[in-house]
Amino acid sequence: MNNTTLNRKAYKYALKLQMRKQYPATIIGAGKSYFKKVERSQPISPLILTNKLREKLISIGDLFSKQNGNFIGCCSEVNAANYVLLKLPYLNLNEIFSLLLLDLGQCKKSQLVKIVK
């Protein structure tokens, strides 16, 4: 797995979000071999959620309900993995790697650029 590409994508994505004054809790990279996606924590649209991922999430609880302090379907892992599954639908969920690139939950807005460099 080439983390350099994901780190570079995450850095650019974080800067773009900062310019929009958006500060998500996390930014996650996910992928399978050459295909990689960087995504942020936010609710996923039920209209684009793949069936594989929907079934897995519903096995945990209702979409967007709070379980163990987190809202199901709102994390960056779900958003990034869903994008990969939309592009590569033949994959199983366990074939997609995810990598926490930036954990911004405890950071002040002014610290964002310092963290991603």
Q: Tell me which residue of 61, 60, 13, 62 sits closest to 41, measured CA to CA.
A: 13
Q: Tell me which residue of 35, 21, 115, 37 sits closest to 76, measured CA to CA.
A: 37
β strands within the chain, DSSP E: 26-32, 35-40, 66-67, 70-71, 97-103
Domain parsing of the chain, residue ranges: 4-115
Residue 117 and residue 11: Cα distance in Å, rounded? 7
Q: What is the pLDDT along the chain (117 residues), one digit of tens a residue?
A: 456 777 778 788 888 888 888 878 778 777 777 777 888 888 888 899 999 999 988 988 899 988 877 788 888 888 888 988 898 899 888 888 655 555 544 444 333 333 333
Q: Is 63 helix (H, G, I), strand (E, B) or coil?
A: coil
